[in-house]
Amino acid sequence: NKVVMSGIQPTGVPHLGNYFGFVENWLRLQKTEPADTQLFLCVVDWHAITTGPLPAVELRDNVRKMVAGLVAAGVDCKRTVLFRQSAVPEHAELTWLLGCLETTARLQRMPQYKDKSLQYKKGDVPVGLLTYPILQAADVLIYRGTHVPVGDDQTQHMHIVTDLADHFNKQYKCEFFPKPLKMASALARVKSLRDPTKKMSKSDPDARSRIELSDTVQTVREKCKKALTDTESVVTFEMDRRPAVGNLVLLYAAVAGLSPDQVVKEMSSVTTGEFKLRLAECISQRFEPIRQRYEELLASPDTINAILEDGAAKARPIAKSNMDEIKRIAGFS
């Protein structure tokens, strides 16, 4: 049986990187997967504290915003089991076991770890930052996930997930975990609007680098106007020579459902300045209805709580039953 599993950090409302790298793909799966495919979508709140604890109010708020954003974008809680990670204790329980099958050397080589640990002095790096990928592996494996839709930035983490599944099976001479496959979306890498060498990310201190689903028409327009271009004023698609303009073309293509060549053709008579305004319009046209639903949902905490409780009630028995089996296999019961 196919089990689709993915996670998203509660970093507040989703941005267009999350949307085109992941959410859009999820919405497609909701429509196209047969009824016996299980769909688990987890808001990974334990992962949110791996670079240090957040104030409780902020963490709770960020989870609420993420759930409201996902549901507003089209995640259907009747089809998708949408829940928060900490509500299912087996994620953390399996993390311990998997952590004992992994080496610190391998984890220290992870690009995201290398990157994020730079902000600390040697010896001050939180242990959770190092073991982050193990928790991610547990998220997938606790449901015996077979397919994991994620953006390109998760490729390295996914290697750890598949290797751990394999490692467990070999260690305990069983076939308990299937090998989870990474599923990429059409636009697996959305770049920062301010720097085409960086991905669009919540952790970028410059808010103009990303567009969030909660941005109003006005904000979208301002951010698009400020988007980086170059000294040439025609719109072309040349990723090597003109990466900044190329990224905007890719983004426009994703939003409008066109190919980059079609975008260039459509924009053949406008300057890059005008193109940025058209991009803003196109984004608002598609995302303004989502923003309005988002605001409505956010104003209704009871709805969000009910969604999360319902999701956890569906996920937990499955996680518990798999954890029982894992413990039996490994000699803990």
Residue 19, class by beta-carbon neighbours within 10 Å (0-12 exposed, 13-18 middle, 19+ buried)?
buried
Rounded to whole angstroms, the Cα distance separating 189 from 183 reads 13
Is residue 212 a contact point for ligand TYM (CB under 6 A)?
no
State in Å, rounded, how far the first CA of the chain is from the last one.
27
Residue 210 · residue 201 · CB < 8 Å: yes
Residue 42 · residue 4 · CB < 8 Å: no
> Could you tell me the sign of the dihedral formed by the alpha carbons of 318, 324, 328, 332, in that order?
positive
Size of the site for ligand TYM (CB under 6 A): 26
Closer to ligand TYM by CB, 190 or 264: give it: 190
> Which residue reads 């909660």 in tokens?
214
Residue from 190, 254, 308, 323 in contact with ligand TYM (CB under 6 A)? 190
Closer to ligand TYM by CB, 61 or 153: give it: 153
Residue from 18, 117, 146, 162 in contact with ligand TYM (CB under 6 A)? 18
Q: Which residue is nearest to ligand TYM (CB)?
A: 21
Closest among 193, 221, 258 to 15, alpha carbons compared:
193
Q: Which stretch binds ligand TYM (CB under 6 A): 144-152, 222-230, 259-267, 307-315?
A: 144-152
Is residue 6 a contact point for ligand TYM (CB under 6 A)?
yes
Closer to ligand TYM by CB, 22 or 275: give it: 22
Residue 212 · residue 14 · CB < 8 Å: yes
Residue from 13, 38, 47, 307 in contact with ligand TYM (CB under 6 A)? 47
Residues 155-174 that bind ligand TYM (CB under 6 A): 157
Q: Please confirm, yes or no, whether 116 is among the known catalytic residues.
A: yes
> Cβ atoms within 10 A of the Cβ of 295, count?
13
Closest among 44, 49, 39 to 136, alpha carbons compared:
44
Rounded to whole angstroms, the Cα distance separating 35 from 259 reads 31
Rounded to whole angstroms, the Cα distance separating 63 from 84 reads 8
Catalytic pick among 116, 191, 223, 276: 116
Closest among 227, 154, 151, 213 to 187, alpha carbons compared:
151
Task: Give the bridge partners for 199, in sequence order.
Answer: 191
CB of 49 to ligand TYM, least distance (A): 13
How long a stretch of residues is the chain? 333
Q: Which stretch binds ligand TYM (CB under 6 A): 74-82, 134-142, 256-264, 272-280?
A: 134-142
Is residue 252 a contact point for ligand TYM (CB under 6 A)?
no
Catalytic pick among 65, 182, 199, 276: 199
Residue from 63, 68, 140, 304 in contact with ligand TYM (CB under 6 A)? 140
Q: Please confirm, yes or no, whether 65 is among the known catalytic residues.
A: no
Rounded to whole angstroms, the Cα distance separating 200 from 49 reads 20
Q: What are the tokens at 162? A: 């598949």
Is residue 22 a contact point for ligand TYM (CB under 6 A)?
yes
> Which residue reads 């791996």 in tokens?
50
Is residue 12 a contact point for ligand TYM (CB under 6 A)?
no
Q: Which stretch binds ligand TYM (CB under 6 A): 194-202, 223-231, 238-246, 300-308?
A: 194-202
Is residue 142 a contact point for ligand TYM (CB under 6 A)?
no
Helices (runs of H) and strands (runs of E) counted in the chain: 13, 5
Residue from 17, 69, 178, 311 in contact with ligand TYM (CB under 6 A)? 17
Q: Which stretch binds ligand TYM (CB under 6 A): 145-153, 236-244, 277-285, 295-303?
A: 145-153
CB of 136 to ligand TYM, least distance (A): 4
Instruction: Point out which residues bind ligand TYM (CB under 6 A).
Output: 5-9, 17-18, 21-22, 44, 47, 136, 139-140, 148, 150-151, 153-154, 157, 188-190, 199-201
Give the residue numbers marked as catalytic: 116, 199, 202
